[in-house]
Structure 1
Amino acid sequence: MTNCAEPVDPTSTHRDKVDFTGVQWKSVEWTNICLLYLRACESASPHSILGDEFAARDVARIDYDFDRIHRVVRPEVNKYMVALRSAQFDALATDYLDRHPDAVVLHLGCGLHSRAMRLARPGTPWFDVDLPDVIALRRRLYAETGTYRMIGSSVTEPEWIEDLPRGGPVLILAEGLLMYITPGEVTDLLHRLLDRFDTGELIADFLSPWGPRMSKVLTKGLIKWGTHDGSEINRWEPRLRLAGDSPIMAGYHQIQPAPQRLLYRTQFAIRPIRNYDRLFRYAF
């Protein structure tokens, strides 16, 4: 058995095992389990960057072949990439919520991420949105509350937005998502969301133009578009203005093991690798 899960607290109300064994190999749901596992592995480190204690507890509850996942995802290296990206999202989200305590939060493509449980403040309306099969898995781990909702829908479908409140500030989080839908679908999604709310921020990561080129060879074209500087978003939705950007590896100095830190430092020094996946923040 791998060592990326915490023992389940016997006093916890969420201690029952959850059966994910029916999830098919290399499906969208499988990918989300892999990301959950990587967050759990990194958060179990003595000097964790992300500090996602929910991830380790969730992995401990889930009945799945994590030994096989461990061999495939190589957490000793790849857990840091996942943690660095998520930690930047967390920091920017926390900053926005500190400044706008009355905001609505939309986590698009939420997967099995525990961000809602870790960052939401009392009374903050939080909507986690993902494909129906992914949300079905989430519902085995988490329960809705008066302020926390899960919506099972593709973000490209217009109907789910009718479940959201109108007006006020909104924080839109899209981690590892928008590059998988076409520019036209991104444009339509942004139009609908900005029509719904008065003000807010979009925090999203995008791949460089190498992303779709490599995807044609490696993943049958799953990556639909890439960007050099994030300016496409402003052209597709002029109400959004770029407020900042950063390579997702920018915090590599926080990695404690020296060999892995050296590897990430070396990658960061190579511009095409450093800029392959960047985080962008837009305001409106």
Structure 2
Amino acid sequence: MHPEKIRLTGARETLLITLQAKAAESVMPDSLLRDRFAADALHRLDPDSRHLEIGHDMTIGIALRAYMLDRWTEAFLQRFPEATVLHLGCGLDSRIFRVDPGPGVRWFELDVPDVISLRERIYPTRAGCTTIACSIVERGWIERLPADRPTLIIAEGVLPYLEDDQVPQVLRRIAGHFPSGEIAFDAYSSIAIRLLRFNPAIRATGARLQWAVDDPAGLERQVPGLQLIEDRSDWDVGQVARMSPAAQMALQLFSTIPYRMGHLLRYDF
């Protein structure tokens, strides 16, 4: 099999950031994520495509974010073993293989056509999983999804790249289509969005972070039906210990102020 060459730019290319980080963290002796699928997928890409420089601390942070979203996914599927899962902006993430849902789960992976095409060449076909080649912000795709089961919507490293008005619009369409469920995603404060624009890996892609969340409860007013049920803005002590001394000092400083830089959010609807 010839290595896959990829020619993605902007927000689409950021899928390499998460893929490289998960692959790198998963070969560490103290790995939290243990995502062998990410390493296999990365090896299928042409070496010239893997050019983003991702530091150790960012690698740990991305793995922790994925780990928490995996646990939320597993908890939802324990309550609803015949649920629907919609993975927005799936990129080359291997969550469906890490979580390994039961046969009763109906899983959808959604991303733009060139990313879905690459994904289908990288990963094997999975029973119960359907890919949707479409932009998150396009209209019409959601009507193609069945709305007869509790539904979990996951978005990792995706929504902050959308415009400010696009995210509430997408969430309103989701909450209006599915009968009930949860929406889980990561978000950053306005200050964090500005700081992340200087991140070397993100800058190398040309992607621009735009959507910020300073008040997670405020999203309930923008999207009728949403109810905030969990806001994780703290860091696991064991994972912080794996980071550099500089990162540990920065996180300790941020923990002393009420203003939170980043969030993992879970809403009911």
Q: How does the TM-score come out when normalised to structure 2? A: 0.86
Q: 2:249 aligns with which of 266, 271, 276?
A: 266
Displacement, 1:144?
3.9
Residue 208 of structure 1 deviates from its aligned partner by 0.5
In the aligned structure 2, how far is the partner of 1:98 from the partner of 1:217? 40
Mark the CA change 1:48 to 1:214 in structure 2 (over 3 Å): closer, same or farther: closer
Does structure 1 residue 222 correspond to structure 2 residue 208? yes
2:212 matched to 1:231? no
* RMSD, aligned CA: 2.6
3-state SS of 2:109 partner:
strand
Structure 1 residues 282 and 158, CA, compared in 2 at 3 Å: closer, same or farther?
same
Please give the secondary structure, in 2, of the residue aligned with 1:50. Answer: coil
Deviations 1:192-220 (A, max 9, x none): 21222111011111110114444777868
Change (3 A) 1:268 1:256: closer
Structure 2: gaps of 5 or more residues: none
| Structure 2 match to 1:9 | none
The answer to whether structure 1 residue 97 and structure 2 residue 77 are counterparts is: yes
Instruction: For residue 18 of structure 1, give the secondary structure of its aligned residue in structure 2.
Output: coil
Task: Select which of 9, 23, 30 maps to 2:7.
Answer: 23
Instruction: Report which stretch shifted further, 184-193 or 83-92.
Output: 184-193
Report the number of matched residues.
Answer: 261
Contact 1:267-1:274 at 8 Å conserved across structures: no
Q: Name 2:185's counterpart in structure 1.
A: 204
Aligned residue in 1 for 2:25: 42
Segment drifting more, 60-69 vs 195-204: 60-69
Percent of pairs with identical residues: 32
Which one-letter code corresponds to 2:142 in the other structure?
I
- Contact 1:40/1:55 (8 A) holds in 2: yes
| Structure 1 counterpart of 2:81, one-letter code | P
Partner of 1:83: 63
Equivalent residues in 2 for 1:37-186 (5 A)? 37-65=20-48, 68-69=51-52, 72-74=53-55, 76-119=56-99, 120-186=101-167
8 Å CA contact 2:240–2:248 kept in 1: the answer is no
| Structure 2 partner of 1:10 | none
Instruction: State the Cα deviation string for residues 91-111 of structure 1 (Å, max 9, x = none).
Output: 111111111111100111111
Tell me, yes or no, if the aligned pair for 1:38 and 1:79 is still in contact at 8 Å: yes
Letter in 2 for 1:18: P
